[in-house]
Amino acid sequence: MAQMGRPGLPPEGKSEVWRRWRAGESFLGIGKAPGKPAGSIYGVIRLCGGYTPVPRKRSLRALTLSEREEISRGVSAGLSIRAIAHQLNRAPSTISREIARNGGTGHYRALEADERALQTALRPKHCILKQNRRLRYAVERKLRREWSPEQVSGWLKNRYANDEAMRVSHETIYRSLFVQARGVLKKELQYHLRTQRKMRHSRFSSTKGARNKIADAVSIHERPPEVADRAVPGHWEGDLVSGASNTHVATLVERRSRFTIIVKVKGKDTVSVVAGLKREVKRLPQHLRKSLTWDRDMELANHKDFTIATDVKVYFCDPRSPWQRGTNENTNRLLRQYLPHGTQLDHYSQADLNKIAARLNERPRKTLGFRSPADKLREAVAATH
């Protein structure tokens, strides 16, 4: 089982994180209590696929730490195996094996032996999909055809009515998809799920099943023609750029000039992203605030708050259609020269991001006749006065 939590988070804090997750709280809300960023909470929960880790329990027959300390003291005092076993009311063979597997009488240490025993007890339990290759292949084939785990499970029950070995619950399929540490079903199969979600959500979660279902989202197909032909400045495309440890920055690219703004955000939740976008967009003159095109991810679920604060209308792309924000996608690739994959993006201040944006905006672009985005934007601003 993967280690739960980051250094500094006590066991009771970890339990509280999972309690809040089961109650349906957001990553941002969960992180407020222990003072952790939403990205850290996401990383912890994502590692376990959204499933609460099973509490570890020692076997009642296993030696305890206090018993191992007694063994250590007995060994130091030169007591025999039988004498130590008699004191602990244990079989001599148990004491003999314990000492032998932990370095012998000359190297036995109670704490080290106890930790080794705890790690050894973490024997992974192979699920039925791991053990039954024929069943696993059948599940993989149906998932690739966009069948839901519940449909796969039901079909197997009917198709192999007389073969108990070819049965698996839909929950086992989900768990094998979301908990990648199991090493059973490939991560790529997650993208064949209808919701394309990557972890199990609480049934109380307000975001459960909300992907691609942003309330009152206005489609890109309803954008005015002036946006598509780049004739008028003030229309933007936006997206998140991801870095290490689930850190992000937002990018805004003006369609006519290719002028870029990089926005520092605290997390990828909609509250954090909208707050960052509002802060930077409100610095723009009014005539450069016309529209914003975004993808269908939930970062802009609070798009109404953004529009009220900035007077910028938001349009959403079709699902899985990044080419509909081609200008932004191309700019994000240029940005990777300064913020390569694996960069810890939360280490950059807004001032740092502004300097990087300035470098991009001062570079001549072939598509602009080798003029820079900054020059092109200044030209558009001057033309409006």
The whole-chain average pLDDT of the chain stands at 86
Q: Of residues 183 and 374, which shows the higher confidence score? A: 374
CB atoms near residue 112 (< 10 Å): 14
Q: Residue 237 — pLDDT band, cuts 50, 70, 90?
A: very high
Gap between the Cα atoms of 209 and 142, Å rounded: 21
Which residue type sits at 194? R
The CA-based angle 359-364-367, given to 5 degrees, is 125
Given phi > 0 = left and psi -120 to 50 = alpha, else beta, which region is 376?
alpha
289 neighbors 236 (Cβ within 8 angstroms): no
Helices (H) and strands (E) in the chain — how many of each? 17, 5
The pLDDT of 133-153, averaged and rounded, is 90
Q: What is the pLDDT of residue 187?
A: 79
CB atoms near residue 165 (< 10 Å): 11
Residue 99's SS3 state is helix
Architecture of the CATH domain 220-383 = 2-Layer Sandwich (3.30)
- How many Cα atoms occupy the beta-carbon half-sphere of 160 within 13 Å? 13
Q: Report the range of poorest mean pLDDT among 17-21, 52-56, 143-147.
A: 52-56
pLDDT by residue (tens digit) across 248-258? 999 999 999 99
Which residue type sits at 123? R
* CA distances to 122, 142, 183, 211 from 151, in Å: 33, 9, 22, 21
Residue 248's SS3 state is strand
Gap between the Cα atoms of 57 and 49, Å rounded: 21
Q: Roughly how many angstroms between the first and final C-alpha of the chain, as a whole number?
A: 64
Note the pTM of the prediction, 2 decimals: 0.50
Closest CA to 259 of 384, 340, 371: 371
Closest CA to 16 of 223, 35, 2, 99: 35
The CA-based angle 295-248-278, given to 5 degrees, is 65
Q: Residue 325 — pLDDT band, cuts 50, 70, 90?
A: very high
**What are the boundaries of each domain within the chain?**
1-56, 65-120, 128-192, 220-383
The pLDDT of 15-37, averaged and rounded, is 81
Gap between the Cα atoms of 99 and 113, Å rounded: 9
Instruction: Output DSSP code: residue 368.
Output: G
Strand 313-316, strand 260-264: pairing: unpaired
pLDDT by residue (tens digit) across 190-221? 878 877 677 877 766 654 444 447 889 999 99
Phi, psi of 282 (to 5 degrees): -70, -10
Q: What is the pLDDT of residue 7?
A: 47
Gap between the Cα atoms of 254 and 335, Å rounded: 15
Q: Residue 1 — pLDDT band, cuts 50, 70, 90?
A: very low
Please, which residues bridge with residue 379 across strands? none
Gap between the Cα atoms of 17 and 29, Å rounded: 10
Cβ within 8 Å of residue 122, ≥6 positions away: 1, 56
